[in-house]
Amino acid sequence: MKRRLYAGINILGLTVAIVSFLAIALFIHHEATYDSMYKDADRVVRFVQRFSMGGEEQVVSMTPSALVPTVMEEIEEVELGTLVFTYSSVLVDAGVGNQEEDNFAFVDENFFEIFDLKLLAGGEGKLLAEPNQVVLTSSTAARYFQRPFEAVGQTIKIDGADFLITGIVADFPSNSHLNFDLLASFITTRHGKNPQWSPANYYSYARLSPFADPEVFTQKLDQMVEKYFGEEMRSYGFEVKVMFQPLTSIHLGYSQLKDIKPAMDIKNLYIFGSVAIL
């Protein structure tokens, strides 16, 4: 009471410090828990490719459409796999004219078994098992329909083609490296019907067995690459290696070419943490 100015400065400084500490702690928690909300996230991996030629090396986060069906068939450590094919933008017409949508992707029928977003409507059988089917997130359905959960069973046009809405799911969390508004059935696409080893335009994920040995799994991936690319690599003088990274380390790992979301350098979190403690 005698030194109100001095006491006020101290209290204000302490308040700012505590609020700053809590804000930074929440940010660090948000970044450090990327993709951990999915079931069995610790067993889910994303495949990437490393290309080497003439002393130069590139790591790309996209793979061929044949990779997932092949590893599911030939490598016993893989329980389930799924493919994602992103589009830069599409035109969507739900009866009120075309609207441009940027967060659109084709995914296969296993997608929601690995990325288990909450199902809000629909869901008889697999959501995207047939061509020309689409699933909307809840916020997207609300933009196009007055009664969003009654959109299941209705048809919308995507780039002029009719797609049947088979489900409404919760929005992707903000700390997921995947973030789409509309998800259409991958079997609609050419490579969905006929997977190929070229081109490499697809994001590939797999859920591994609880007893999978990473070293053994790596050896089997190398053998698979030799089986399908060995002769071609020796003929043209390049090397390709298929690698995998844990789902929960994608965001805080090294940035790859063609990443869906830019990665965060984990050093930044250490810097923020130090500032918070100080």
State the pLDDT at residue 92.
Answer: 94
**pTM, to two decimals:** 0.90
In whole angstroms, what is the distance from residue 269 CA to residue 266 CA?
A: 5
Q: Are 238 and 110 in contact (CB under 8 A)?
A: no
Helix axes 4-32, 266-277, angle to 10 degrees: 160
State the pLDDT at residue 37.
Answer: 95
Tell me the residue type at 30.
Answer: H
Beta bridge partners of 81: 206
State the pLDDT at residue 253.
Answer: 79
pLDDT-derived band of residue 179, with 50, 70 and 90 as boundaries?
Answer: very high
Q: List pLDDT tens digits, range 14-46.
A: 999 999 999 999 999 999 999 999 999 999 999
3-state secondary structure of 231: helix
Q: List pLDDT tens digits, range 106-132.
A: 999 999 999 999 999 987 778 899 999
Query: Could you tell me which residue, 124 or 168, shows the higher pLDDT?
Result: 168
Contacts of 264 (CB under 8 A, 6+ apart): 31, 251, 252
* DSSP, res 43: G
In whole angstroms, what is the distance from residue 32 CA to residue 25 CA?
A: 10
Q: List pLDDT tens digits, range 2-18.
A: 899 999 999 999 999 99
Other C-beta atoms lying within 10 Å of the C-beta of residue 267:
9
Mean predicted confidence (pLDDT) in 82-86:
96
Helix axes 67-74, 214-236, angle to 10 degrees: 130
State the pLDDT at residue 272.
Answer: 95
In whole angstroms, what is the distance from residue 75 CA to residue 113 CA?
A: 19
Mean pLDDT of the chain: 92
State the pLDDT at residue 233.
Answer: 84
Over 80: is that where the pLDDT of 180 sits? yes
199 cis-preceded (ω within 30 degrees of 0): yes
Q: List pLDDT tens digits, range 230-268.
A: 888 888 888 999 999 999 999 997 777 788 888 888 899
Element (H, E) at 239: strand 239-246
